[in-house]
Amino acid sequence: MMTRFLSRNRHTVQRLGFSAITLVAVVTVIPIVGTIIFILFKGGSAISLEFLSGFPHDGMRAGGILPAIIGTLYLTLGTAVFSVPLGIAAAIYLSEYAKDNQWTRLIRIAIINLAGIPSVVYGLFGLGLFVLFLQFGTSILAASLTLSIMTLPVIISTSEEALRAVPQSFRTVSISLGATRWQTISRIILKEALPGILTGVILGLERAAGETAPILFTGAAFFLPRLPQSPFDATMALPYHLFVISTQVPEMPIQIQYGTALVLLVFVLTMNVIATVIRSRARAKRQW
């Protein structure tokens, strides 16, 4: 009698508990979906060819956002140029070469710290080193370099994980057939880890594309009447532009604000979805 009561009681507790946790998860997820749908809905009507391909005019209260779109593209590509080779090489070092010693531990702590440094502090650093000390000025170059260092930990840790997932036996076999370490990496390991590395790279660049604080004082321009001509020009960028028109410009048409938010969101979400698809397809295809 007593045990049956206890057991029923336990299962009631479990049911209640599971419901509560499920509720928590639902409450966490609904705003994410809600935000995305809300912006798609509100911003959709602002999207037109003119909006996507035109320059802003009337103090940015009319016209398009082309310079901001192009600027974000440049910054993302610029970030990729520096952070992708460096990040993958660092991941290769950690996964394939590094011994388990104090130095390696120090590198890992450094990477964890890079990941945790506030984005605005990256902005300060970029201002101090690239803009002022190296005299790149407020430019795409300085902003890309700043974003690269910020992106590095994401790329390193995801790539390292992908490399480590490749079975050790491939390495042993390749070496036993007379391959050098680098031949093994370049012919076998990198190829197998590629989808995972790609996912990490895109997720890292996605973060860079959406960031505002690091480019505030290193490369972002309030308004430019033309597209940037060289890496030493400053540039408009979608996230900064959204910040500007939603806080700094009085009587800004709400339509343009939502439209800009939508374009930024689509830019970032597309990268996210591509990364997710690559990862799940590679998982399904994997044979080892």
Partner 1 sequence: MNKIIIENLSLQYSDGTESLRDVSMGIRQNAVTVLFGPAGGGKSTLLRCLNRLNDLTEVKASTGRIMIDGENILDPKTDVIALRRKVGMVFARPVPLPLSIRENIIYGLELAGEKRKSKLDEAVERSLKLSAIWDEVKDRLEEPAIALSGGQQQRICLARVLALQPEIVLLDEPTSGLDPISTGKVEAALAELKKEYTVILVPHSVQQAARTADHAAFFLTGELIEYGDGKTLFTNPKQKRTEDYIMGRFG
Partner 2 sequence: MEKSLSWREFIITRLIQSSGYSAIIFVALIFFFLLREGLPTLGEVETSSLLNIRWYPIEEYFGILPLISGSLIVTLGATLIAVPFGIGTAVYISEIAPRWMREILKPLVELLGGLPSVVLGFLGILVLSPFLRVFLDLPTGLTAFTGSLLLGGIAVPTVVSVAEDALDSVPRAYREGSWALGATKWQTIWRVTLPAAKSGVLTAIMLGVGRAIGETMTVMMVTGNAPVLATKLGSLFSPVRTMTATIAAEMGEVANGSTHYHVLFFIGMVLFIISLIVNVIASSVVFRAKKRAERILS
Q: Which residues bind partner 1 (CB under 8 A)?
A: 99, 167, 169-180, 183, 187-188, 191-192, 287-288
| Nearest to partner 2 of 71, 239 (CB atom) | 239
Instruction: Please report how many Cα atoms fall inside a 13 Å half-sphere around the Cα of residue 3, on the Cβ side.
Output: 0
Q: Which does 90 bind (CB under 5 to 8 A by kind): partner 1, partner 2, none?
A: partner 2
Report the nearest approach of partner 2 to the CB of residue 238 (Å): 8
Q: Could you say which of partner 1, partner 2, none residue 1 binds, taking C-beta under 5 to 8 angstroms by partner kind?
A: none
- In the bound complex, what is the minimum distance in angstroms from residue 179's beta carbon to partner 2? 11
Is the CB of 144 or the CB of 174 nearer to partner 1? 174
Decide whether 15 or 191 has the Cβ nearer to partner 1.
191
Residue closer to partner 1 by CB (options 68, 92) is 92
The single residue listed with the structure tokens 């690091």 is 214
Tell me the backbone φ, ψ of residue 159, rounded to 5 degrees. Answer: -65, -40
Distance (Å, whole) CA 167 – CA 187: 14
Q: Compare residues 28 and 176 and give the one whose CB is closer to partner 1.
A: 176
Q: How far apart are CB 210 and partner 2 at their closest, in Å?
A: 3
Q: Which does 47 bind (CB under 5 to 8 A by kind): partner 2, partner 1, none?
A: none
Please check whether residue 211 is in contact with residue 147, taking contact to mean a CB–CB distance below 8 angstroms. yes
Pick one of partner 2, partner 1, none as the site partner of residue 5 (Cβ within 5 to 8 A by kind).
Answer: none
Q: How far is the CB of 179 from partner 1 (least distance, A)?
A: 5
Dihedral-angle region of residue 63 (phi above 0 means left; psi in -120 to 50 means alpha; beta otherwise): left
Closer by beta carbon to partner 2, 199 or else 233: 199
> Which residues are registered as beta bridge partners of 57?
62
Min dist. Cβ of residue 257 to partner 1 (A): 50
From CA 214, how far away is CA 218, in angstroms rounded?
Answer: 7
Separation between Cα atoms, residue 204 and residue 152, nearest integer Å: 8
CB 170, min distance to partner 1, A:
6
Taking the complex as a whole, the smallest distance from the CB of residue 183 to partner 1 amounts, in Å, to: 6
Question: Of partner 1, partner 2, none, which one does residue 228 interact with (CB within 5 to 8 Å by kind)?
Answer: none
Q: Which is nearer to partner 1, 14 or 172 (CB)?
A: 172
| Residue 279 to residue 269: CA distance in whole angstroms | 15
Give the CA distances from residue 201 to residues 75, 81, 141, 263, 264, in Å, rounded to whole numbers and listed in that order: 15, 11, 19, 21, 19
Q: What CA–CA distance (Å, rounded) separates 109 from 149?
A: 15
Through-space distance between the first and last CA atoms of the chain, rounded to whole angstroms = 53
Under DSSP, is residue 164 helix (H, G, I), strand (E, B) or coil? helix
CA distance 114 to 106: 12
Work out what residue 169 binds among partner 2, partner 1, none; the CB cut-off runs from 5 to 8 Å by kind. Answer: partner 1
